[in-house]
Structures are given as C-alpha cells and as structure tokens.
C-alpha cells in the first residue's frame, strides 16, 4: 500500500500565497458524502437477540507499531449503557491491510463484561509504521462496521508532512455534529485531535442552545453517577457524524472540564454541590472511569490524559491534563492569580512538559492544551458586548479583564513555561487549544504588556466549538454581528492576537511541514441543521524558527 506521507525530498514554496491545496471543495464535500445516518448501517437486532454494535467503532493514540481499538457491544437488548445488565460476551477483533480483510495482520479476542459497561479495547502492537489499516469487531456471529486507522510514522522517519483535524466543545443539545462529518469526508487525516469537552454534563435545557434544544440529552438530568456518565457517553457515540469520523482516522483526545463538571479543579467544580450531589471525589472517579471505558485513549501518567506521542522527526505532541491537578480558580483583582503556590498543571506535569520540550529532537513541538495560554484582556468593550462576553468566559460582570479558568488565572505556571522556552532557545512550540468557543491565531508573548517590543516564546491556534454557544448565540443576534464589533477591540487590547472570530462554529485542520505549521479554520453554515455545509474561513501559519503567526490566503 502506498504511504500517505509526502516524499521527504519534496518542498513547498514557503513564500507562495497559493500553497499546495487540499481544496476547499474537497473539505466541504462532506455534506453529500456522509449525510446518511451511519446508524442505519449497523446490524439490526435479530429475533434471537444477537449481539449488536450500536455505538460504532473507533481507534486512537497511534504509535509507530500500534494502535488502540475500541467498541461497545450490546449483547442483549436489556444491556443498555449504564444498566449493569447483560452477560459476559466474547468479542473478537481483526486487523488487515485492506478493506476487504484479505490480508489479515493481527487478530484476537477478549471478553466484554458489565463491569466495563460492555466496552472493549484492544491495544494492537507489531504493526508497520506510517501505514493504513482496517479493523472490525465480531460477537455472536455479528460483525461491527469496518473502520480505517493509521499508525504513526517511525520514530526516526523523515516525514515531509502531517495533517490533523482539530476540534473541541461539542454540546449535543445545541445542534448536530456536522464538523465531524466534514472532517471524515476529507479522507486525508493522519489523526484528529479532540481538545476537550467531548461531552457535556448538564441536564436538558441547562446549557446554551439559543433557547432551542435541538436534540435532548440522555439522561435528561445532570450527570453525577457512574451510570449517568456512561449513558451520556453512549448517547454521544450514537451520533452518525461522530461515528463516521471515528471510523475514518484515529483520535488523540484530552479531557477538559465538561467531561467532569463546569470549571472543574482538583477538589471540586463550579457546577458541583458537595453533599447534595455526593462527594466530588466520587463524581470525579466516576467521570474518569466512564471516560476511559468509552474513549479510545490509553490511561496515561497518574491515570490521567497527559502523555506524549511522536510522529517521526517532524513533530511530537505533548497532551496536557489541566483539570486533575489544578488549584481552585480565584476571583480576579486580589493578586492570587500570581501566587506561585497555585498551579494549573501540578508540579509533576509541569516538570514533565518542560523536560519533554527541552529534550525534543523533532522539528515541531505541539502541545495539546485545553484552555488558552495566551494572555487575554477584554479592553473597553461596550456594556452590551461585555456582559455576554463575561458570561461566556466566566469573567466578572463588572468587566475586570481576566479569565481565571485559563492560564491567565495561573500566571506563575505560564511564566515558568515561557521562560523555559526562552532560556533554552526552544523553538517551534505550537499550543493547540479549545475551550473558549472562538477561533484565535495568537503569538504567545513573554510579556504581553510590552509586546511586540518584547519576544514571543511560542504560537497558539485556538479552534472554535463544534456546537457550543458562541457570543452571537448568547446575544441571539445574526452570525458575525458580535465579531465585527468585538474582534477589533480585542485585538487592540491584545497586540499578540492576530485574529479572533467570536461567532462561528466549525473545526480546524492543522497541516505541518518542516517549513511551517498551518491551521486552516473552517466554519459550518448552521449547527441546528443536520446537513450543514462547511466553508473555509481563514488560514494562519507560523514559519519554522519565528515564533510568530502570519496570515495565509489559501488553505492547504
């Protein structure tokens, strides 16, 4: 099989305004290609109650010699997610080099039990690097849908290019997951990154939907128990667009707060009432257990999601967990945001990140980062814009310019990592961020107050939400209305911000070569429509060695 990685002796004119295209048309063609519900292709329940694979299949965490495979089997109709019901069921898996499964390279079996909610994982090793594979599961004579995955390139491979889909913040009730469908239709992704808020914990109608619940959650109440979290994950996994993307490329995922509860920290959350909703420690443990059951993610250091993957000599990817170890968020204006005893990462994780960035021998150092690291000041926004902006970002209504749930609330951790990058001359660090429901292209300044006279230590691309409320949704005005007013003000108060779109939903595609890392931003036409189209919006890149962002006028 021909490798998808571009030949290492090819090059791309870095100064060209028309870089090699993966055309906008191809990216947008998903509407027709995958519009039909994938759920219709799942095995129907036979009269003899044969097992069924109702939640699709998925793969994740690609390694040069391996991949993690996932599915959930429903052995009998009553074995619904979270029920604890259903018999132990043998599930087999097979991996092949071709879609017809004529060249089988690995196979095996395991037992799905109620103890793991009948979810199954198979950590396959002994595969070839940089190679497409197909896989499927079987149980009781029923086969799952077949899916494509891909291993990472060899550790020492001279990889000419990589392409990752990038998404975050998918609120089921607010709309359909068409960004996933459009990414799946591309057919050119090495992997896709989910930067957090894969699910939301709220009850029906409790979280932003422009006062319109497009489709209700299950369970209808706020999720608190292990059964609740399992049911919510299961509901998400029935989405045909999400199933399509999982069946097309491996995912690399981290969690943020809504996989637990809003504004979670190590000892609690804004959206958790101790006692009335049980102990936070129990709720946190339940959320983590359900996450690792239902996601194709390997439990990493200290049972969290911080870990590191490598893609040849071109890039490594450090994935952060910014919820499990953080100090509680503080109010602004009292100086506590600068307290060196407070932490976002925890000491061990920060040391791990610093060591990894320093020792890296790849061209690019990517950091999967769930909350924005770039400093952000609101500036002098008018009252009618400041109030919804404050609501979205968790800012005080009086307008003090700080979001303490982001790195802005933990400035000593940020100072330490940025000083580390500068002191050790570590270049080409790119933070990939979600959470904020807006799209941003930022330099990451050492001193925002004196920038651009002072240096930039890294760059940051922030992707908007899949469906979760943007500013225009909160204000309930036509799309683009708020951004036209707010964006210039935000940029004037934050000179390291090259672009911000406060209003639209969509996804990103990160394209990397030795010369540059480029993020192509796409937007969808209407989150409330199942057949929403996708359109290229903007592209920004950072050239190797510059630590600065610049606009590009064509996607790749």
- Four-residue CA torsion sign, 278, 280, 286, 290: positive
In the predicted model, what is the mean pLDDT of residues 405-413? 94
Q: How far is 201 from 204, CA to CA, in rounded Å?
A: 10
Which tokens in the block code for residue 159? 């990889």
In the predicted model, what is the mean pLDDT of residues 203-228? 93
Indicate the fold that domain 39-152 takes in CATH: Immunoglobulin-like (2.60.40)
Domain limits, the chain:
24-33+153-552, 39-152
Query: Across the chain, what does the average pLDDT equal?
Result: 89
**Portion of the chain with pLDDT greater than 70, in percent:** 87
Indicate the pairing of strand 147-150 with strand 132-139: antiparallel
Going by pLDDT thresholds of 50, 70 and 90, the confidence category of residue 26 is very low
The 10 Å Cβ neighbour count of residue 2 is: 5
Question: What local confidence, expressed as pLDDT, does residue 380 receive?
Answer: 56
Render pLDDT for 285-331 as a digit per residue (tens, 0 to 9). Answer: 999 999 999 999 998 887 899 999 999 999 999 999 999 999 999 98
Entry pTM: 0.89
Q: How far is 82 from 227, CA to CA, in rounded Å?
A: 4
More confident residue, 543 or 335: 543
**Portion of the chain with pLDDT greater than 90, in percent:** 77
In the predicted model, what is the mean pLDDT of residues 225-236? 98
Q: Are 509 and 166 in contact (CB under 8 A)?
A: yes
Helix (H) or strand (E) holding 391: helix 383-393
Which tokens in the block code for residue 529? 């429509």
Q: How far is 539 from 318, CA to CA, in rounded Å?
A: 23
Render pLDDT for 127-159 as a digit per residue (tens, 0 to 9). Answer: 999 999 999 999 999 999 999 999 999 999 999
Lowest mean pLDDT among 192-201, 228-237, 385-394, 439-448: 385-394
Render pLDDT for 445-464 as a digit per residue (tens, 0 to 9). Answer: 999 889 999 999 999 999 99
More confident residue, 556 or 388: 556
The residues near 444 (Cβ < 8 Å, ≥ 6 apart) are 373, 374, 418, 431, 456, 457, 458, 459, 460, 496, 547
Inform me whether the pLDDT recorded for 42 exceeds 50: no
Indicate the fold that domain 24-33+153-552 takes in CATH: Purple Acid Phosphatase; chain A, domain 2 (3.60.21)
């Amino acid at each position: 099989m021909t490798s998808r990685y571009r030949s290492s002796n090819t090059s791309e004119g870095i100064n060209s305004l028309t870089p090699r295209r993966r055309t906008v048309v191809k990216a947008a063609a998903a509407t027709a290609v995958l519009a039909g519900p994938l759920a219709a292709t799942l095995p129907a329940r036979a009269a003899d109650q044969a097992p069924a694979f109702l939640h699709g299949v998925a793969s994740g965490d690609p390694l040069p010699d391996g991949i993690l495979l996932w599915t959930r089997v429903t052995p009998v109709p009553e074995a619904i997610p979270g029920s604890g019901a259903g018999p132990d069921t043998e599930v087999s898996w097979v991996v092949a080099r071709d879609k017809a499964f004529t060249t089988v390279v690995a196979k095996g079996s395991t037992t799905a039990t109620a103890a793991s909610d009948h979810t199954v994982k198979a950590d396959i090793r002994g595969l070839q690097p940089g190679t497409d594979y197909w896989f499927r599961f079987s149980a009781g004579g029923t086969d799952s849908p077949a899916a494509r995955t891909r291993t990472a390139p060899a550790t020492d491979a001279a990889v000419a290019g990589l392409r990752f889909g990038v998404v975050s913040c998918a609120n089921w009730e607010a709309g359909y997951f068409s960004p996933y469908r459009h990414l799946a239709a591309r057919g050119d992704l090495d992997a896709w990154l989910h930067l957090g808020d894969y699910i939301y914990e709220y009850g029906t109608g409790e979280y932003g939907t422009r006062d319109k619940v497009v489709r209700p959650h299950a369970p209808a109440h706020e999720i608190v128990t292990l059964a609740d979290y399992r049911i919510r994950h299961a509901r998400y996994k029935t989405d045909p667009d999400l199933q399509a993307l999982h069946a097309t490329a491996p995912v690399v995922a981290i969690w943020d707060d809504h996989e637990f509860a809003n504004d979670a920290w190590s000892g609690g959350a804004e959206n958790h009432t101790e006692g009335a909703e049980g102990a936070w420690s129990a709720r946190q443990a339940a959320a983590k257990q359900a996450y690792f059951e239902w996601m194709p993610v390997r439990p990493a250091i200290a049972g969290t999601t911080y870990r590191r993957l490598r893609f040849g000599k071109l890039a490594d990817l450090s994935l952060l967990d910014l919820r499990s170890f953080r100090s509680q968020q503080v109010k602004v204006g009292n100086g506590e945001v600068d307290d060196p005893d407070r932490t976002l990462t925890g000491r061990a994780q920060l040391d791990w990140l610093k060591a990894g960035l320093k020792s890296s021998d790849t061209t690019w150092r990517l950091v999967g980062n769930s909350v924005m690291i770039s400093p952000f000041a609101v500036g002098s926004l008018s009252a009618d814009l400041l109030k919804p902006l404050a609501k979205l970002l968790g800012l005080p209504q009086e307008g003090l310019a700080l979001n303490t749930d982001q790195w802005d609330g933990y400035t000593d951790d940020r100072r330490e990592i940025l000083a580390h990058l500068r002191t050790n001359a570590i270049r080409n660090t790119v933070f990939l961020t979600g959470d904020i429901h807006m799209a941003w292209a930022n330099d990451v300044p050492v001193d925002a107050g004196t920038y651009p006279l002072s240096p930039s230590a890294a760059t940051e691309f922030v992707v908007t939400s899949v469906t979760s409320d943007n500013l225009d949704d909160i204000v309930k005005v036509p799309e683009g209305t708020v951004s036209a007013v707010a964006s210039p003000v935000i940029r004037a108060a934050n000179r390291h911000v090259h672009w911000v779109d406060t209003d639209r939903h969509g996804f990103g595609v990160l394209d990397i070569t030795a010369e540059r890392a480029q993020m192509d931003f796409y937007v969808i036409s209407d989150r409330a429509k199942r057949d929403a189209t996708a359109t290229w919006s903007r592209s920004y890149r950072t050239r190797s060695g510059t630590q600065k962002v610049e606009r590009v006028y064509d996607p790749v």
